[in-house]
Amino acid sequence: MRRLLLFCSLLILIISEGRAQSRTIKGVVTDNESKPVPGATVVVVETRKGTTTDINGNFSINAENGQTLRITLVGETPILTQITAATQNLNIQFKGSQSALNEVIVTGYSSERKKDLTGAVAVVDLTAVKNNSSGNTMQALEGRVAGLYIEKDGSVNGATSRILIRGANTLGNNDPLYIIDGIPTTRPEVFQSLSPSNIASIQVLKDASAESIYGARASNGVIIVTTKTGGNTEGKVQFQFNSTTSTESEKSLRYKVLNAVDRGKALWQASVNDGQDPAAGYGDIYTFDWNGNYANPVLNSVTPKPFVGGDPNTPVGDTDWQSVLYKTAIATNNDFTATVGNKNSSFDINFGHITNNGLVKFTRYVRNSGSINAITRAFNGKATLGASIKIANSNETLPTKDLGGATTTALAVNLAPTIPVYQKDGTTYAGELGAGYSDRNNPLHMQDLAKWNNTNRLTTFGNIFLEIQPIKNLYIKSNYGADNANYLAKVISPTFSEGALNRTTNSLFNDQNHYLSTTWSNTIRYDFDLNKNNHFKLLAGTEYIKTFTDYLTTYKENFAIQSEDYFVFDAGTGKTNITGTSLGHTLFSQFGRLDYNYNNKYLLALTLRRDGSSRFGANNQYGIFPAASAGWRIDQEDFMKNQNLFSQLKARLGVGRVGNQEIGDLSRYTLYYARYGFTQNQLTPGFWEQYMNIGTAYSLTGANTGALPSGFVQTQLGNPDLKWETTDEINAGLDFSFLHDKISGSFDYFSRNTTGILITPPVASALGEGQSKTVNGASKSNKGWELVLTYHGQQSGDFNYNVTLNFSHFRDKITKLPEDVRPAYPGNLENTIIGHSQFDIFGYKTAGLFQSQAEVDAAPTQIGAGPGRIRYVDTNHDGKIDANDQTWIGTTLPALEYGARVDLTYKKFDLAIFGSGVAGRRGYDPYTFFNNLMHSREDVGPGVFNGWTPQHTNTNVPALTLKDNNNETTRTSDYFIVNTSYFKVRNIQFGYTIQPRAVFTRLRVFVMGENLFTLKSKQYLGPDPERASLDVVPVPKILSFGVNASF
Amino acid sequence: MKTKILIITALAGLICVSSCKKALDYTPKGALKSTDLTSPTAVDGLVTAAYAGIGNGDMIGPIYSNWAYGSVRSDDAYKGGGGTGDVGEIDAMEHYNLVNPSLDAFISRTWKNLFKSISRANVALRAVEAISDAQFPNKKIRIAELRFLRAHSYFIMKRLYKQVPIFDETATADQILKTSNTLSDEDAWNKIADDFQFAVDNLPTSQPELARANKYAAEAYLAKVRLYQAYEQDASYHVTNINQTRLQQVVSLTQDVIASGKYSLSADYADNFLPETENGPESVFAIQFTINDGTTDGRLNFEDGLNYPHGAPQYGCCGFHAASQNLVNAFTTDANGLPNFDTFNNSIADLSTQTVDVRIDHTVGIDGHPYKYDPTKPFSNSWVRDPGVYGNFHTMKSQQLATSSSYFKLGPFMGSAKNVDVLRYDDVLLMQAEAYIELNQPAQALPLINQVRIRAAASTGRLKKLDGTFPSNYNVQPYSATNWTQAYARKALQWERRLEFATEGERFFDLVRWGIAESTLNGYINIEKGRRSFLSTAKFTAGRDEYLPIPQSEIQFTNGLYKQNPGY
């Protein structure tokens, strides 16, 4: 309790300088190989003052003679040393092993020393990601792990949009499998909601030989997360507190768009180019003063009409919608951990609290999380019983869409600037009204109306296990875990009227589902040495997984009062609608593993897994996934004994087979459903889909209301032969460390082949409704490499530094795709997707602009061509531009990803700089679309003023037009495809460790900047190549201040 | 101590073994297997679902509203909406500039939706045919209904795409994928006609559930097929011959329908466009729509959901489907109450002085005129979305008042529970009249056309303004027998069809059938573009623009089996 009070007074505590009698004790902490140990905790037992060792294992601490130092390190027995008058420089050595190589790595149902690894396993350095403003470790890993590719946006809830391990190996779901404390889950949310300070280790299994033990679910890679269970603190309660407060701003990432007058000028120019009277289309918005001569047009002035749609309550505006929609957000991330343990038991409690009040106005995110991990041993350590529970509860209000389905983030860029935010009264939201406008809404108004929307996610993830050791080195373990998620999205749609648009009926809509996946795994492990040189580890086990999800949506209309609290189903008096369904699957597996180690030189691992899944067809219910890998620790050979270059050198080779079963739970069945009153929206949500009946009910009597007779419809075709996808992979790697460990690293090359990729191709419409079926139809190959290099800078006085670089490359290709499946993917009959990734871009090639009618006449027939129009390339040389001229023009995945991290320490200061980027990527620039081309209804960028005219021909911007007869805006073409490579300085952290005083064993304050600088190609006109669409929130610049304290 | 360890070991061993026995099965919830679909109730359910299929269209893939395909592509109407870029696919149709047939809206989506509807009929046919008469006494009738429904969808497809793959319920998936779209017109029409003929032969004259197809609906539809079939086209869509045998079939089939006495023209033309009077005496076959029926939003017609006046506060969106000046002009009448066949488009109609056909105020939204029969909220120019582009006229037949019990607003768009009439008695009369004229028996056609005109003239009951006066000067008179030559009668018939079905989406298909699409539409554009400059780049290309392109995606799905229409 006393400590709690102290904790609360953390920020106001003023501490005096140390006592007079104390003196400075210096020392170095090393492991059993005499390598320095950074991060060990050194505490004066009597005063509880403490410090941690630096990167070279050094520490210095004030203590008095007669006091005792306790040096602790996770996984090690604490060392106690009494200070005597003779004590000068201490040399503390942990008898166990704690160099990176001796680090024990959880690799799936068992663990290995890092130096014994034979597969491609990335061990994530957690110190670097411990402090991040989002509280989302997954986002913080972006660019830090070779072979792990992460795309994100600025969503307030920190959701990531794409996570790929070694690229895209399948055509469908590429999400990795997560194993958290031995319990598998495919929900990234579970991992993303873990407090970083609660994570003990993260391993990424990248190749099939490492993944194979997870069988039919592992082909997208496996991320193994182990949470902290607390160590032996000798009964003393230890506290840790991390706090970060951040400001987030997207100000520097805004798009340049035209103001009210300039947009009028652009509309005038485009209309005149089209030979249309600008006043016909836009005369209600602007007064155009011009000479009326289409051959030689001269614009004197453009003046916005004083009122929008002639409504005297709506004076015309000149609105910068981006500045209206966005604000500087404040995010806080607080995390508190208490651990206690003794020789037999330990206990770890963690609370996390994250808030973010939203870059987009009226959005927000709050997450509370807590976890308890407990572990206890009995019978002299022969039985271990552990339990953990992690609960995360989050509430979020996200950016919304307008009545017509446009996102507010896109509207902030392209809504007409002549619309004011508010009407004359300053409080009523204004909107589009009158001729010349679109049917879009005021984005701020939409966010305001959506402020009662809330998505609540409650994740409960936990496990209990019992491990017994009946005889020495025989371990029997039973682990039962559950991943339980409750999702409730509440959408309150109040009535409103804005400009010409309105919503006349209010409603409450709840979309909820309940997901529960339980896993029961039982393993038996036996480690034995045949003799001095032959070491064996055996593992066998079974696993049973059962997953179900229940879905329910409820909808009601007509609420008499429009207040947040009144929108409860009982209060509604109008139409009611309920939908719901249930899905689930089961998985039963048997697996085994053999590790063999000869004299620490030759390593061999064999795994085998047999998976049965309810998702697979009756004819193929079981799959077998074998793998083998070998390692050769060259540095242990005699011939290496006398060299000093390499301190470690290990070659690895692995082959293996893994699977993927990410298809629908029911894909194997032919199904008929009674779809009484469905709309397409219930199956494939979308804007237009709301308006499409797909039901089976029909008024045969001719009545206009009331219950209808209904029937059944086939929804899919079964496939009894359906089976898992198979990925075969070969991986060759080299781990090295040389120049006295100054440089260390690893290199991996992989080649993988995925066959029988599960796809549900659309079929020729003539086959009719519900005729699509899931098949094992395609193959992909994927080759690549990863390189990690670390340079441990030489100590020079107080100054230390480390540099870590990582590079990775992959290129995935579709190698086989049955002909009837090809139409589901980009490509045409002549130019198929074979040899390309599904992330490649298919479209027209362009060759500049037509400069004259003569050029048009001489060129292949192109409907809509004309001087100043984009010239498309007749790639098939048939003399006309049509769909068959499309070809492959870019990819959205990079050729190279890289990251660089520099850590520097100087005395008590530390500085970490981290940057990452992608290279060799040509993709879509959404800004080109808005900056270079006119849109009749949306605002555009200043690029349009560089448009082609007979007098201004040296430009790549087509002549302005509102007609687009050349289909420039609707064709995918390389006009929009530019170099989207970039390098971002993602994180700079500058910290200062205050000399421990009084209650604190460690106190560090830091400032941190995220996404501070971006280098990008000049071709890319938008501000941030990471923002691939206007529909997402930009990734903001973040400035944070934080504290890490232990006491 | 040792004992305890052994106990725990034994327990652990037990759970290891027991877990191996778990079953892998997960059975689908709330679903049926094909074997569950053999009971009479289930089979009847499949028939119901097939009926539902003809109403399962889409705002951007319409199958029952032809406002985009039949009205905007004709001289009746403009696309409307917020400028030419708003729903660009229809703008491309309006400009006959369909250079990008791979867009997943309209052309490809309509194709998909129509085949969904066809497959529902085929699925149900297979189930009905597999059940015995004893179990299912209505077997014959249901088969006939299903073939009627299938033929209905094929008829729509044939009008839109010309070349479509036609197969029946016996075709396996493999056979379907090998069925090309290269049937000759004659064979294709005959296949469609076969289904309707089966329906004629097997349907009762009256069904206890009135929304089901009956014998007369089948006869009327078969007549329509035969009428289209009669106008024989060559490869470039020129009408080369009008087949007299087919016309004779039209006459006898429609005669049967008329003689049945089951149908008649409603007293007021407006009855055809209001939910209160739907399924009335004039409706021969209609697609039923419903509201407050327990479905998500109601089984509503959303295909016309963009077409409400944008600026009217009670609607608020989206102003599509604006009547053309040419159409408004076409409603003007001369002193004899007859159309101004040759002069109607010489100037902008002055509605304050010129006399007009009554049907103009059932069809066109005009400033100051009651809109949709509501004198309290007359149409106003301020309701128009983009007058600078599309002028001040709007359409109203498919729209309902915001106060109507059949009206429903979802998001920005509107749905209506008003049925969509597929075949009306006025169509039956005019089809017969057309057949008689082309059989060179114009005298037989005169009373039929006049019957339609007389009803039109009498349909003023809902048109008065608040002050009790009519918004327009009406003068509609029947034609006289004098000078009623074949040529004049043809002109009169074509005019009558235009006005009677104005903006209902028949016009474009009529023009193509008659072989006058190119001349009529380019003639229309040449004058209309002086009034609405957005049409300045529109041009109808004969031999191409009569039909839509076959969706590129379908050609790919079938690996190039389907033949693209010429010009695309």
- Sequence-separated (6 or more) residues with CB below 8 Å from residue A229: A200, A346, A348, A373, A374, A375, A386, A388
B211–A279 CB contact, under 8 Å: no
Three-class SS string for A323-374?
HHHECCEEEEEEEEEEEEECCCEEEEEEEEEEEECCCECCCEEEEEEEEEEE
Q: Predicted confidence band at B474 (pLDDT cuts at 50, 70, 90)?
A: very high
Residue of A nearest to B43 (CA): A711
- Sequence-separated (6 or more) residues with CB below 8 Å from residue B536: A275, A276, B529
How big is chain A, counted in residues? 1047
In the predicted structure, residue B452 carries a pLDDT above the cut 70: yes
DSSP assignment string, A91-159: EEE-SS--SGGG-EEE-SSSEEEGGG--S-EEEP-SGGGSS-TT--HHHHTTTTSTTEEEEE---TT--
The share of chain B scoring above pLDDT 90, in percent, equals 84
Q: Which residues pair with A385 in a beta bridge?
A: A376, A466
pLDDT of residue A6: 41
B-chain residues within 8 Å CB-CB of A280? 388-389, 533-534
CA distances from B336 to A353, B81, B394, B495 (A): 84, 37, 27, 15
In the predicted structure, residue B173 carries a pLDDT above the cut 80: yes
**Does any CB of chain B come closer than 8 Å to the CB of residue A828?**
yes
Rounded CA Rg of chain A = 32
In the predicted structure, residue B430 carries a pLDDT above the cut 60: yes
Q: Predicted confidence band at A19 (pLDDT cuts at 50, 70, 90)?
A: very low
State the burial class of residue A538 (Cβ atoms within 10 Å of its Cβ: 0-12, 13-18, 19+): middle
Q: Are B282 and B423 in contact (CB under 8 A)?
A: no
Q: Predicted confidence band at A996 (pLDDT cuts at 50, 70, 90)?
A: low
SS3 A69: strand
pLDDT of residue A16: 33
Q: Predicted confidence band at A97 (pLDDT cuts at 50, 70, 90)?
A: very low
Q: Predicted confidence band at A795 (pLDDT cuts at 50, 70, 90)?
A: low
**Does any CB of chain B come closer than 8 Å to the CB of residue A697?**
yes
Which of A168-182, A597-611, B351-365, B498-512 is predicted with the least confidence, judged by mean pLDDT?
A: A168-182
Say how far residue A841 (Cα) sits from the centre of its chain.
Answer: 22
Q: Predicted confidence band at A509 (pLDDT cuts at 50, 70, 90)?
A: very high
Spatial separation of the C-alpha atoms in residues A965 and A176, rounded to whole Å: 45
Q: pLDDT by residue (tens digit) across A441-489?
A: 999 999 999 999 999 999 999 999 999 999 888 999 999 999 999 999 9
pLDDT of residue A797: 65
**Does any CB of chain A come closer than 8 Å to the CB of residue B70?**
no
Check residue A8 and give left, alpha or beta (phi > 0: left; psi -120 to 50: alpha): alpha
| CB pairs A-B closer than 8 Å | 384
pLDDT of residue A270: 93
Pairing of strands B473-474, B355-356: parallel
Spatial separation of the C-alpha atoms in residues A250 and A1011, rounded to whole Å: 10
Q: Residues A207, A209, A210, CA angle at the centre, nearest 5°?
A: 70
The share of chain A scoring above pLDDT 90, in percent, equals 53
Look up tokens 């009982």; give the residue: A570
Spatial separation of the C-alpha atoms in residues A730 and A751, rounded to whole Å: 6
Among positive and negative, which fits the CA dihedral A444, A446, A450, A455?
A: negative
Is the link from the previous residue into B20 a cis peptide, with omega within 30 of 0?
no
Residue of B nearest to A521 (CA): B16
pLDDT of residue A100: 55
Spatial separation of the C-alpha atoms in residues A755 and A739, rounded to whole Å: 44
Which of B9, B22, B58 is opposite residue A468, by nearest beta carbon?
B9
Spatial separation of the C-alpha atoms in residues A74 and A41, rounded to whole Å: 9
**Does any CB of chain B come closer than 8 Å to the CB of residue A474?**
no
**Does any CB of chain A come closer than 8 Å to the CB of residue B88?**
yes
pLDDT of residue B102: 52
Name residue B70's amino acid.
G
pLDDT of residue B286: 98
Spatial separation of the C-alpha atoms in residues A120 and A797, rounded to whole Å: 37
State the burial class of residue A22 (Cβ atoms within 10 Å of its Cβ: 0-12, 13-18, 19+): middle
Q: Residues A924, A928, A933, CA angle at the centre, nearest 5°?
A: 130
Q: Which residues pair with A59 in a beta bridge?
A: A27
B16–A763 CB contact, under 8 Å: no
**Better-predicted residue by pLDDT, B8 or A820:** A820
Spatial separation of the C-alpha atoms in residues B501 and B520, rounded to whole Å: 17
In the predicted structure, residue B421 carries a pLDDT above the cut 60: yes
Q: pLDDT by residue (tens digit) across B185-209?
A: 999 999 999 999 999 999 999 999 9
Residue of B nearest to A584 (CA): B26
Which of A466, A577, A693 is opposite residue B55, by nearest beta carbon?
A693
Torsion of CA A962, A966, A971, A976, to 10 degrees: -70
State the nearest Cα–Cα gap between B402 and chain A, in angstroms: 10
**Better-predicted residue by pLDDT, B443 or A240:** B443
pTM of the predicted structure, to 2 decimals: 0.87
SS3 B62: coil
Among positive and negative, which fits the CA dihedral B121, B123, B129, B133?
A: negative
H-helix segments, A388-520: 408-414, 443-449
In the predicted structure, residue B8 carries a pLDDT above the cut 70: no
Q: Predicted confidence band at A33 (pLDDT cuts at 50, 70, 90)?
A: low
Give the mean pLDDT of A983-1001: 82
Q: Predicted confidence band at A307 (pLDDT cuts at 50, 70, 90)?
A: very high
pLDDT of residue B2: 57
Q: Predicted confidence band at A20 (pLDDT cuts at 50, 70, 90)?
A: very low
B-chain residues within 8 Å CB-CB of A613? 24
Q: Which residues pair with A242 in a beta bridge?
A: A335, A1044
Give the mean pLDDT of B36-49: 93
Spatial separation of the C-alpha atoms in residues A442 and A448, rounded to whole Å: 10
- Sequence-separated (6 or more) residues with CB below 8 Å from residue A812: A167, A168, A169, A780, A781, A782, A837, A893
Q: Are A994 and A1005 in contact (CB under 8 A)?
A: yes
Residue of B nearest to A676 (CA): B295
Spatial separation of the C-alpha atoms in residues A116 and A123, rounded to whole Å: 13
**Better-predicted residue by pLDDT, B132 or A6:** B132
Closest by CA to B554, choosing from B170, B168, B164, is B164
Q: Which residues pair with A785 in a beta bridge?
A: A749, A809
Phi, psi angle pair for A613, to nearest 5° = -135, 140
Residue A962 per-residue DSSP state: S
A967–B100 CB contact, under 8 Å: yes
Residue of A nearest to B302 (CA): A691
SS3 B215: helix
In the predicted structure, residue A7 carries a pLDDT above the cut 50: no
Residue of A nearest to B51 (CA): A698
Question: Can you read off the two tokens belonging to residue A683?
Answer: 């199956």
Residue B71 per-residue DSSP state: I
**Does any CB of chain B come closer than 8 Å to the CB of residue A1026?**
no
pLDDT of residue B9: 58
In the predicted structure, residue A10 carries a pLDDT above the cut 60: no
Which of B42, B86, B553 is opposite residue A712, by nearest beta carbon?
B42
SS3 A522: strand
Give the mean pLDDT of A494-512: 93
pLDDT of residue A995: 67
Spatial separation of the C-alpha atoms in residues A286 and A281, rounded to whole Å: 10
**Which of A 271-290 lie inside 8 A of B, CB atoms?**
275-277, 279-284
Question: Can you read off the two tokens belonging to residue B212?
Answer: 């089901």
Q: pLDDT by residue (tens digit) across B127-160?
A: 999 999 999 999 999 999 999 999 999 999 999 9
In the predicted structure, residue B21 carries a pLDDT above the cut 60: no
In the predicted structure, residue B363 carries a pLDDT above the cut 80: yes
Instruction: Count Cα atoms within 13 angstroms, Cβ side, for A379.
Output: 20
**Better-predicted residue by pLDDT, B16 or B547:** B547
In the predicted structure, residue B232 carries a pLDDT above the cut 90: yes
The share of chain A scoring above pLDDT 70, in percent, equals 95
Phi, psi angle pair for A761, to nearest 5° = -75, 145
Pairing of strands B374-378, A671-673: unpaired
Q: Predicted confidence band at A102 (pLDDT cuts at 50, 70, 90)?
A: low
Spatial separation of the C-alpha atoms in residues A228 and A198, rounded to whole Å: 6
Closest by CA to A513, choosing from A597, A446, A583, is A583
Q: Residues A483, A489, A492, CA angle at the centre, nearest 5°?
A: 170
Residue of A439, A497, A829 to mutate, interface with B, max B Cβ within 10 Å: A439
Give exposure, B8-43, as e/b (b: 16+ Cβ within 10 Å).
bbeebeeebeebeebebebebeebbeeeebeeeebb
pLDDT of residue A138: 81
DSSP assignment string, B354-388: SEE-TTHHHHEE-TTSEETTEEEEE--GGG-S-HH
Q: Are A395 and A366 in contact (CB under 8 A)?
A: yes
**Does any CB of chain B come closer than 8 Å to the CB of residue A404?**
yes
Give the number of other CB atoms < 10 A from CB of residue B399: 24
Q: pLDDT by residue (tens digit) across B529-560?
A: 999 989 988 999 999 999 999 998 888 888 88
Residue-averaged pLDDT of chain B: 93
Q: Which residues pair with A659 in a beta bridge?
A: A726
Q: Predicted confidence band at B166 (pLDDT cuts at 50, 70, 90)?
A: very high
Question: Can you read off the two tokens belonging to residue A503?
Answer: 């919503």
Greatest distance between any 2 Cα atoms in chain B: 121
Give the mean pLDDT of A115-123: 87
Residue-averaged pLDDT of chain A: 88
Spatial separation of the C-alpha atoms in residues A394 and A514, rounded to whole Å: 15
**Better-predicted residue by pLDDT, A42 or A510:** A510
CA distances from B241 to B229, B244, B254 (A): 10, 9, 22
In the predicted structure, residue A695 carries a pLDDT above the cut 60: yes
